[in-house]
A and B are shown apart, each in its own frame.
Chain A
Amino acid sequence: MISIESIEIEKFRGIKGLSIDLRSKSFAVSGDNGSGKSGVVDAIEFALTGSLTRLTGKGLGDVSVKEHGPHVDSRTEPTLSKVSLRFRMAGNNQLFTLSRSVSNARSASITPKSKPAEDAIKDISAHPEFFLSRREIVKFILTSANDRAGQIQALLKLESIEKIRASLQSICNDKTRSFEAAGVNFEMTKSRLASSLEVAELKKEAILAQVNARRHTLGFDPILELRPDTNFFERRTTKDFQPRIDKATASKVIDQFETSLGAPEFLFEIDEAKTIVQEAVADQDLFSALRKIAFLRLGVTFLSAQACPFCELPWDLAELRALIEEKLKASGKAEGLKRKAATSNQNLIKRIIDLETKLENLAGLSPALKLSDEQVATLNNWKQHFKDLRDVIRLEKVDENTSQVLVDWQGADELRKGLISEMRKRTDKLPEISKEDVAREFLFQAQEHLQQYTNARSLFASAKIEEKIATTALDEFVAACSRVLNSLYISVENDFCTYYKFLNSDEGAFSAKLTPTPGNVDLKVEFYGRGLFPPSAYHSEGHQDGMGLCLYLALMKQVYRDSLSFLVLDDVLMSVDTGHRRKFCELLSQHFPKIQLIITTHDRVWQRQLVSNGIVSDENTLRFSSWTPESGPLTHRDSDVWAAIDEDLFKNDVSGASHKLRHGLEFFAEDLAGKLKARVEFRPDGNYDLAILADVTSRWKDLLTKAIAAEKSWGHDVSTLEERLRLFREAVAASQVEQWAINKSVHYNAWAQLHVNDFSPMAATFKTLLNLLRCQSCAAFFYVASTGSKSDSIRCKCSSLANLIGKPVSSAVPMTGSGG
């Protein structure tokens, strides 16, 4: 574990030069929009990762760290733009510095070099999620389940797991399709072989009987065993035998087709299949889903190029493939109906395949029967029609022609009466051939089809094994993900609910359901006992931001366990109200007490809450204002303000010095008004100007007067307090601050017109005035300590200056100080 000891920023983003001493503790930077506070978080992110989330993402194509990382006035000198972070290692307290320059953003230097330091930086660099902005929070909540999964996977470093899953899914889909195609091919070759052997089923005895009868005619020995390499026709090769078609063979081919086409079982099964198809066509949603599946399946086949075939824009192939696979999976009802169609129409599909084979044989007669081109085209059209019919029945082909395919089917009778009848007539003109030639033709065809069948069977068997392996791999992978991640998601869900309930005590019964499915993480949250809804359904924007933070913290806890060392939160509570922000402070201090937080906010109230809740100490806060390109942000730390004024005066820049004095005094006055509980005129916009310095001085005099009286009542020496009051009155008179409250027109607006010799003593007067409000030992401003609404004492960081409650006089009624 490491923590940030200090930050040194030079000419980076909106900052010209800034050093911040964090002392390995939490730190808060506040400032209005455009005050440059995000420059600090950018610097931390850049030093650790070499990149900037703010300069990456959609719509930021023209922006880069190299060109836009340096301060706007140092664009041409990236070597001068650099950030150094000094870290402290927990355990041995060893210090090391990490430095990175924009000119060489890819590599950072670590001094002094050590393996533990390098490992620690490597570990954090791999997890840029330590940086969170409101833009990132929204991505956890107001997003699709798929995008949320992406965010969570990135945070849990599971992108590679998702890539593997998408690859396995894609392999599985391809293997399933190959298996289906090999199955159809196998059925076709089987049907062709049975047809050529003139057997109903491919049984050894029947096959050998048919083959041996022809072999006997030719004087060959009978074949006794059937093996894959059995040769029916061993004395003739395909080279020296020219098959001829005779009248008997042609008649047989026509008979076989007509018998299959007119089989009563076939017609009955067709009618049965129509019911499922019509169900799909009648339901508009189902029909659309089936069409979408067909479209997406077709789309998958185009996913081999690196760019879209339409617009030619490059795409992320893996991401797109995974998206399409997910969409396919999501069409549950439609896929169910498809499965039902494939299962219940299994026999019919085999019959159609058989019919297609027989139609092929029929088409093979075309040259011998001298069919015209038109007649050949009719046969080919019917071949396509049978294929369409097969696809429609399996619900693979669903489009506006689906119903037409079923209607067209009824035209098969016309085919039989027309073209087939004509073909039968023409067979009479075919020659009669010898019984030896018929036997040779039979064996030749049978041998060809046996070869095709053997190959197809072998391919089908391989495809079946591959489909099984691919399915098993995908199933086992998804199961492994579930086993490992489900318990993690349950912990995240529990922590998320705990944190959210902590922030929102009025939602004590709050619950949430985080449901991971491959590629998605669905989030539903409970809304006041009314059920589970998406987070954006009823909860306010502030609550949604709170949810985002809680989910982020719950996930970070799982990612880092006890090694989470620091978090950078960039204005993450913009939409959260004061009460909930206070609860968030408590949540951080109770659940993440050891984590160093670097928090930026535009809200000074929240910065004070962070201090009062002990998340950050007073000296670990910084306020930015008055950013200009030339100066960068103006920081309101004591030493910074007076050093910057001295520097301006040295350059005779009274205008710059007066600007810094005014903003510095405004900051200190506001800070002191809070510490001393001064009564100030309420401003709804929270923008208090320098007029409240008079309220502060008046309050301090009042407090000292009360303290002198209280201390006297206890019999304590009050000479120091009286001297402090006297000096303070003199300083107030010298600064004329209380006159401004009466006549605002003559005050600080005229400072810029002064000569340097007039301005310098005036600035020194204010420095003296403010120093009188500090402890000389610890240099911190005094503050009023209270019990409930009662002001008890004036204190500083190191000790108590004075009591404000006097000794009870007679009736045990204490003499109280000002109630503030």
Chain B
Amino acid sequence: MMEKLTAQILNDFIEKMKAHSEIDSAAIDRLKKTLIDNEETTRPKIESSLFAPRKP
């Protein structure tokens, strides 16, 4: 169960990220899923959420 303060910070962060039109909404959805739903904090997970995998 995520701690209240942590959840508050993460929700605030995701909301503010949505205001940036230059950031793909799919990336924000992935980030939300990683940080809030799955409670993942590792750098590789965060990085792969933030940047869609490059096309080969």
Task: Assess whether A480 is in contact with B12, with CB atoms less than 8 Å apart.
Answer: yes
Q: Which residue of the partner chain, among A167, A472, A473, A477, contacts B43 with CB atoms under 8 Å?
A: A167
Smallest beta-carbon distance A470→chain B, Å? 7
Q: Which residue of the partner chain, among B8, B12, B17, B46, contacts A167 with CB atoms under 8 Å?
A: B46
Closest to A475 in B: B16
**1/0 contact string of B20-36 vs chain A (CB within 8 Å):** 10110001000100010
Smallest beta-carbon distance A240→chain B, Å? 29
Known: A157-B6, A158-B6. A484 touches B12 (CB 8 A): yes
Is A67 engaged at the interface, CB distance under 8 Å to the other chain? Answer: no
Task: Assess whether B46 is in contact with A484, with CB atoms less than 8 Å apart.
Answer: no
Which of A31-39, A341-349, A384-392, A461-469 binds B?
Answer: A461-469
Is A202 engaged at the interface, CB distance under 8 Å to the other chain? Answer: no
Smallest beta-carbon distance A158→chain B, Å? 6
> Measured between alpha carbons, how far is A105 from B20 in the docked complex, in Å?
49
Is A163 engaged at the interface, CB distance under 8 Å to the other chain? Answer: yes
**1/0 contact string of A239-279 vs chain B (CB within 8 Å):** 00000000000000000000000000000000000000000
Contacts of A156 in B (CB 8 A): 3, 5
Task: Assess whether B9 is in contact with A469, with CB atoms less than 8 Å apart.
Answer: no
Known: A469-B23, A484-B5. A171 touches B16 (CB 8 A): no
Greatest chain B CB density within 10 A among A156, A167, A168, A466 is at A167
> Measured between alpha carbons, how far is A318 from B9 in the docked complex, in Å?
20
Closest to B35 in A: A164
Closest to A483 in B: B12
Smallest beta-carbon distance A592→chain B, Å? 21
Smallest beta-carbon distance A526→chain B, Å? 28
Known: A167-B42, A485-B9. A157 touches B35 (CB 8 A): no
Contacts of A357 in B (CB 8 A): none
Contacts of A477 in B (CB 8 A): 13
Smallest beta-carbon distance A123→chain B, Å? 9
Closest to A318 in B: B43
Is A161 engaged at the interface, CB distance under 8 Å to the other chain? Answer: yes
Is A687 engaged at the interface, CB distance under 8 Å to the other chain? Answer: no
Is A434 engaged at the interface, CB distance under 8 Å to the other chain? Answer: no
Task: Assess whether B39 is in contact with A160, with CB atoms less than 8 Å apart.
Answer: yes
> Measured between alpha carbons, how far is A484 from B5 in the docked complex, in Å?
8
Known: A167-B43, A480-B13, A480-B16. A160 touches B6 (CB 8 A): yes
Task: Assess whether B22 is in contact with A465, with CB atoms less than 8 Å apart.
Answer: yes
Contacts of B3 in A (CB 8 A): 156-158, 160
Contacts of A473 in B (CB 8 A): 17, 31, 50
Task: Assess whether A161 is in contact with B22, with CB atoms less than 8 Å apart.
Answer: no
Smallest beta-carbon distance B22→chain A, Å? 7
Is A323 engaged at the interface, CB distance under 8 Å to the other chain? Answer: no
Task: Assess whether B13 is in contact with A469, with CB atoms less than 8 Å apart.
Answer: no
Contacts of B17 in A (CB 8 A): 472-473, 476
Task: Assess whether A171 is in contact with B50, with CB atoms less than 8 Å apart.
Answer: yes
> Measured between alpha carbons, how far is A465 from B52 in the docked complex, in Å?
12
**1/0 contact string of A476-511 vs chain B (CB within 8 Å):** 110111011100100000000000000000000000
Is A170 engaged at the interface, CB distance under 8 Å to the other chain? Answer: yes
Contacts of A157 in B (CB 8 A): 3, 5-6
Chain B interface residue number, banded: 20 to 34
Q: Which residue of the partner chain, among B5, B20, B31, B43, contacts A488 with CB atoms under 8 Å?
A: B5
Contacts of A466 in B (CB 8 A): 51
> Measured between alpha carbons, how far is A483 from B8 in the docked complex, in Å?
10
> Measured between alpha carbons, how far is A473 from B10 in the docked complex, in Å?
12
Contacts of B46 in A (CB 8 A): 164, 167-168, 171
Closest to A469 in B: B23
Task: Assess whether A158 is in contact with B20, with CB atoms less than 8 Å apart.
Answer: no
Smallest beta-carbon distance A229→chain B, Å? 17
Closest to B17 in A: A476
Smallest beta-carbon distance A118→chain B, Å? 12
Known: A477-B13, A483-B12. A469 touches B39 (CB 8 A): no
> Measured between alpha carbons, how far is A480 from B11 in the docked complex, in Å?
9
> Measured between alpha carbons, how far is A318 from B12 in the docked complex, in Å?
24
Contacts of B41 in A (CB 8 A): 160, 163-164, 167
Task: Assess whether B9 is in contact with A480, with CB atoms less than 8 Å apart.
Answer: yes
Q: Which residue of the partner chain, among B9, B23, B50, contacts A484 with CB atoms under 8 Å?
A: B9
Contacts of B47 in A (CB 8 A): 167, 171
Smallest beta-carbon distance A115→chain B, Å? 14
Known: A167-B41, A167-B42, A484-B8. A476 touches B51 (CB 8 A): no
> Measured between alpha carbons, how far is A540 from B41 in the docked complex, in Å?
41
Contacts of B22 in A (CB 8 A): 465, 468-469, 472
Closest to B19 in A: A476
> Measured between alpha carbons, how far is A170 from B35 in the docked complex, in Å?
16
Contacts of A160 in B (CB 8 A): 3, 6, 39, 41
Contacts of A481 in B (CB 8 A): 9
Closest to A559 in B: B5
Contacts of A462 in B (CB 8 A): 54
> Measured between alpha carbons, how far is A158 from B9 in the docked complex, in Å?
10
Smallest beta-carbon distance B48→chain A, Å? 10
Task: Assess whether B5 is in contact with A469, with CB atoms less than 8 Å apart.
Answer: no
Contacts of A485 in B (CB 8 A): 5, 9
Smallest beta-carbon distance B12→chain A, Å? 4
CB-CB contacts below 8 Å: A560-598 with B: none
**1/0 contact string of A168-186 vs chain B (CB within 8 Å):** 1011000000000000000
Smallest beta-carbon distance A168→chain B, Å? 7
Task: Assess whether A171 is in contact with B43, with CB atoms less than 8 Å apart.
Answer: yes
> Measured between alpha carbons, how far is A160 from B1 in the docked complex, in Å?
12
Smallest beta-carbon distance A636→chain B, Å? 42
Task: Assess whether A469 is in contact with B6, with CB atoms less than 8 Å apart.
Answer: no
Closest to A170 in B: B43
> Measured between alpha carbons, how far is A448 from B54 in the docked complex, in Å?
24
Task: Assess whether A479 is in contact with B16, with CB atoms less than 8 Å apart.
Answer: yes
**1/0 contact string of A122-165 vs chain B (CB within 8 Å):** 00000000000000000000000000000000001110110110
Contacts of A468 in B (CB 8 A): 22
Smallest beta-carbon distance A157→chain B, Å? 4
Smallest beta-carbon distance A796→chain B, Å? 48
Task: Assess whether A469 is in contact with B50, with CB atoms less than 8 Å apart.
Answer: yes
Contacts of A483 in B (CB 8 A): 12
Contacts of B6 in A (CB 8 A): 157-158, 160-161
Task: Assess whether A470 is in contact with B50, with CB atoms less than 8 Å apart.
Answer: yes
Smallest beta-carbon distance A435→chain B, Å? 43
> Measured between alpha carbons, how far is A171 from B13 in the docked complex, in Å?
17
Contacts of A158 in B (CB 8 A): 3, 5-6
Smallest beta-carbon distance B54→chain A, Å? 8
Smallest beta-carbon distance A481→chain B, Å? 6
> Measured between alpha carbons, how far is A152 from B22 in the docked complex, in Å?
35
Contacts of A161 in B (CB 8 A): 5-6, 9-10
Task: Assess whether A476 is in contact with B13, with CB atoms less than 8 Å apart.
Answer: yes
Smallest beta-carbon distance A770→chain B, Å? 52
Contacts of A484 in B (CB 8 A): 5, 8-9, 12
Smallest beta-carbon distance B20→chain A, Å? 6
Smallest beta-carbon distance B43→chain A, Å? 4
> Measured between alpha carbons, how far is A125 from B42 in the docked complex, in Å?
24
Known: A158-B5, A171-B43. A476 touches B16 (CB 8 A): yes
> Measured between alpha carbons, how far is A15 from B39 in the docked complex, in Å?
41
> Measured between alpha carbons, how far is A477 from B31 in the docked complex, in Å?
12
> Measured between alpha carbons, how far is A318 from B45 in the docked complex, in Å?
13
Please give me the 3 A-B residue pairs with the lowest Cβ-Cβ distance, nearest first: A157-B3, A480-B13, A167-B43
| Given A158-B3, A161-B6, A318-B42, 11 more pairs with CB closer than 8 A | A163-B42, A167-B46, A171-B50, A469-B50, A470-B50, A472-B17, A472-B20, A476-B13, A476-B20, A484-B12, A488-B5
Mind listing 21 A-B residue pairs with CB under 8 Å?
Answer: A156-B3, A158-B3, A158-B6, A160-B3, A160-B39, A164-B46, A167-B46, A168-B46, A171-B43, A171-B50, A318-B42, A462-B54, A466-B51, A468-B22, A469-B27, A469-B51, A472-B17, A473-B17, A473-B31, A477-B13, A479-B16
